[in-house]
Amino acid sequence: MKIYGYGKQNITEDDIQSVLEVLKSPYLTCGPKVKEFEQAICEYTGAKYCVAVNSATSGLHIAMLAAGVGGGDEVITSPMTFLASANCARYCGADVKFADIEKDTANIDPNEIKKHISNKTKAIVPVHFAGQSCDMEKISEIAKENNLFVIEDAAHAIGSDYKDVKVGSCKYSDMTVFSFHPVKTITTAEGGAVTTNSKELYNKLCAFRSHGMYKDGDMANDWHYEMRELGYNYRMTDVQAALGVSQMKRLEEFKKRRREIVDYYNKNLGLSHLIEKDFSNACFHLYPVLVENREKFYFAVRKKGLNLQVHYIPVHTQPYYKAQSYKWGDFPNAEEYYKHCISLPLYPELTDEDLKEIVQRIKELL
Ligand X SMILES: *Cc1c(COP(=O)(O)O)cnc(C)c1O
Residue numbers at the binding site for ligand X (CB under 6 A): 55-57, 81-82, 84-85, 127, 153, 155-156, 179, 181, 192
- Continuous H helices in 157-250: 199-209, 238-248
Contact 179, 155 (CB under 8 A): yes
CB of 324 vs ligand X, minimal distance in Å: 19
Contact 288, 311 (CB under 8 A): yes
Report the residue number, 55 or 196, with the smaller CB distance to ligand X.
55
CB of 311 vs ligand X, minimal distance in Å: 8
Contact 201, 175 (CB under 8 A): yes
Report the residue number, 189 or 213, with the smaller CB distance to ligand X.
189
262-265: long-range contacts, CB 8 A cutoff, minimum separation 24? 262/287, 262/346, 264/352, 264/355, 264/359, 265/289, 265/344, 265/355, 265/359
CB of 53 vs ligand X, minimal distance in Å: 9
∠ CA 226-177-272, nearest 5°, is 165
Looking at this protein, which amino acid is placed at residue 63?
A: A
Report the residue number, 85 or 333, with the smaller CB distance to ligand X.
85
Calpha distance 41→251 (Å, rounded): 11
CB of 267 vs ligand X, minimal distance in Å: 27
**280 membership: H or E segment, kind and range:** strand 280-281
CB of 83 vs ligand X, minimal distance in Å: 8
Report the residue number, 33 or 156, with the smaller CB distance to ligand X.
156
Peptide bond into 202 cis (omega under 30): no
Report the residue number, 169 or 240, with the smaller CB distance to ligand X.
240
Report the residue number, 154 or 359, with the smaller CB distance to ligand X.
154
CB of 57 vs ligand X, minimal distance in Å: 3
Report the residue number, 208 or 214, with the smaller CB distance to ligand X.
208
CB of 138 vs ligand X, minimal distance in Å: 20
Contact 306, 269 (CB under 8 A): no
Listed residue (123, 200, 186) closest to 154, CA to CA: 186
